[in-house]
Amino acid sequence: MQLSQRQLVLLVLLTLVWGLNWPVMKLGIADYPPLTFRAISIWLGIPVLGLAMVVLKVPFFVPRDKWRELFWLAAANMFVWHALIILAVKNLSSGRAAILGYTMPIFSALLGAWFFDAKLKARNWLGVLAAAVGVALLLWYELTNLSGRPLGVLCALVAAAVWALGTQQLRKTTIAAATLTLSFWMTVMTAVMLTVLGVTFEMPQWKMPPAATWAAIIYNAVLIFGFAHAAWFTLARALPPVASTLSVMMIPILGVFSGALGLGEVLHWQDWAAVVLMVVAIASVLAPSRDAAKA
C-alpha cells in the first residue's frame, strides 16, 4: 500500500483541486441550474483531456466487445456521482456535501470486504472506523437540520455508495486499455447523459451563465474533468481500494475549511476533531507495515 513519488504528487494535486472545488461548485450553481452547469463543464473538459492524450500519445481505441463493460463502469463511477452530488451541493452547504460525498471510502472498504474478497487488516478497519466517526462529527451540527434537507442528504449518500461500487469495479476491469482512455470515454458518456437530464428537467431555467458561473465552469472543465478524474482513475486502478479511497479523505476536510473561508460557512469543534480522525484513517492505510519497515 505504499505510494510511489508519482502517485504521491498526483494525490497531493488531486486533493487540492477536488477539495477547493466544493465551494467553487456552490458559487457556480448559486444562480444557475445544477445539471446544466455540470454538463457544460464536462463538454468543455473533454477537449482538454483529449489534448492531453494526444500529447502523451495515449490511444483512443477501446475494443468493440468491451463497450458494454465500459458503459457500466461509467454509470457507477461518473453518471450517478455527478448527477446526484451536484444536486446535493445545491441543497446543502458545500462543506457538508463534501463530507457526505466522501463517505465513499467507508462504503468502498465494506463492499470490498463483503463482496470482492478484500483482506482488511485490523488497522484498515481502524481507518474505516476513524473515517466514519470523523464523518459523524462533521455532520453533528447538521443533524437537527437534516429533516429539512432530506433530498440533498439522500443524493450525496447514494452518490457515494455507487461511486464506491464503481471504484471496486474499475480496479477489477478486464478492459485492456490505458486509464486515460477509459477516463476519456467515460467522460464523453457522462456528458451525453447529463445533457439529456439537463434538457429534460432544466430547459425552462436555461440562461446565459453569469461571470461567477463561467469561472466555476472553467475551473471544473480544466482541473476537474481535464485532470482530476484521470488522476483519480489512475490511483484507483493502481492502488488497493482501501488505500486509494481512504488516502483522499483529506479532500472533504479541505472542502469544509475552504468553504468556511470562501463562503463564510461556520466551523465547530466537531470539524477540528474530525481532522485528527481523518489523519488517523489515512495513516492506517499508508503507513509502512513492520515487515516493510524492516525490509
Q: What does 247-291 look like in DSSP terms, one character per residue? A: TTTHHHHHHHHHHHHHH-PPP-HHHHHHHHHHHHHHHHHHSPPHH
Residue 148 forms part of a structural domain: yes
Residue 294 forms part of a structural domain: no
Provide the number of structural domains found in the chain.
Answer: 1
Average pLDDT, integer, range 142-164: 78
Q: What's the whole-model pTM score?
A: 0.85
Q: Which residue has the cell 463493460?
A: 69
Residue 101 forms part of a structural domain: yes
Residue 126 forms part of a structural domain: yes
Residue 73 forms part of a structural domain: yes
Q: What is the Cα–Cα distance from 172 to 51, expressed in whole angstroms?
A: 27
107-129 pLDDT, tens digit per residue, is 877 887 777 777 777 877 888 88
Choose from 125-129, 137-141, 164-168, 286-290 the range with maximum mean pLDDT. 164-168
pLDDT of 143 reads 64
Q: Which residue has the higher pLDDT, 93 or 38?
A: 38
Q: Which residue has the higher pLDDT, 231 or 84?
A: 84
Q: What is the Cα–Cα distance from 101 to 135, expressed in whole angstroms?
A: 10
Check if the beta carbon of residue 141 is closer than 8 Å to that of residue 102. no
Domain that holds residue 44: 5-289
Which residue blocks in the chain are alpha helix, DSSP H? Answer: 5-28, 34-56, 67-74, 80-91, 94-101, 104-115, 122-138, 150-171, 179-202, 211-219, 229-238, 241-246, 250-263, 269-286, 290-294
Q: Which residue has the higher pLDDT, 250 or 294?
A: 250
Residue 295 forms part of a structural domain: no
Q: What is the Cα–Cα distance from 90 to 28, expressed in whole angstroms?
A: 10
Burial of residue 204, with CB atoms counted within 10 A of its CB: 0-12 exposed, 13-18 middle, 19 or more buried: exposed
39-66 pLDDT, tens digit per residue, is 999 999 999 999 999 999 999 999 999 9
